[in-house]
């Protein structure tokens, strides 16, 4: 505490203590799968959910015969477009907040493609 105040009151003046308890660093949290990305902030021990970014991506298909490579290519193009749109959206959100770093996670290979 860097201040000295002498007050006569029937309430405690806790503003300097509350300011000292504020988290100093804020981290961005990102969970990403094909078609959906969850965006949050980690402030101290508290996680604040910001929003979700979604974009339709076709699921994997086992059928197709000779068309299977075409379906796989179309799905890959959709995932690439999703990652491009998600990265622009996430960039706007995280630039609004003064974050110290970003944690990226997810269940599938999409997180590796994102990085």
**Hey, how many other C-beta atoms are within 10 angstroms of the C-beta on 94?**
18
Lowest mean pLDDT across 11-25, 65-79, 81-95: 11-25
Beta-bridged to residue 48, according to DSSP, are 41
* Structure tokens that stand for 113 in this block: 């493609």
Using alpha carbons only, what angle is made at residue 112 by residues 64 and 81, rounded to the nearest 5 degrees?
60
Using DSSP bridges, classify how beta strands 26-33 and 101-105 pair: parallel, antiparallel or unpaired.
Answer: parallel
Reported as a pLDDT band with limits 50, 70 and 90, residue 1 is low
C-alpha dihedral over 92, 95, 100, 105, to 10 degrees?
Answer: 0
Q: What is the mean pLDDT of residues 1-23?
A: 77
Task: Give, in words, the CATH class of 24-114.
Answer: alpha beta
Q: What is the mean pLDDT of the chain?
A: 87
Reported as a pLDDT band with limits 50, 70 and 90, residue 29 is very high
pTM over 0.75: no
């Amino acid at each position: 505490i860097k201040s000295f105040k002498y007050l006569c009151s029937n309430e405690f003046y806790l503003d300097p203590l509350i300011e000292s308890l504020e988290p100093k660093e804020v981290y961005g949290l990102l969970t990403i799968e094909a078609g959906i990305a969850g965006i949050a902030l980690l402030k101290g021990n508290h996680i604040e959910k910001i929003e979700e970014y979604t974009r339709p991506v076709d699921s994997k298909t086992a059928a197709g015969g000779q068309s299977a490579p075409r379906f796989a290519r179309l799905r890959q193009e959709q995932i690439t477009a999703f990652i491009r749109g998600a990265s622009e959206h996430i960039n706007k959100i995280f630039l609004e907040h003064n974050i110290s770093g970003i944690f990226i996670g997810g269940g599938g290979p999409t997180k590796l493609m994102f990085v």
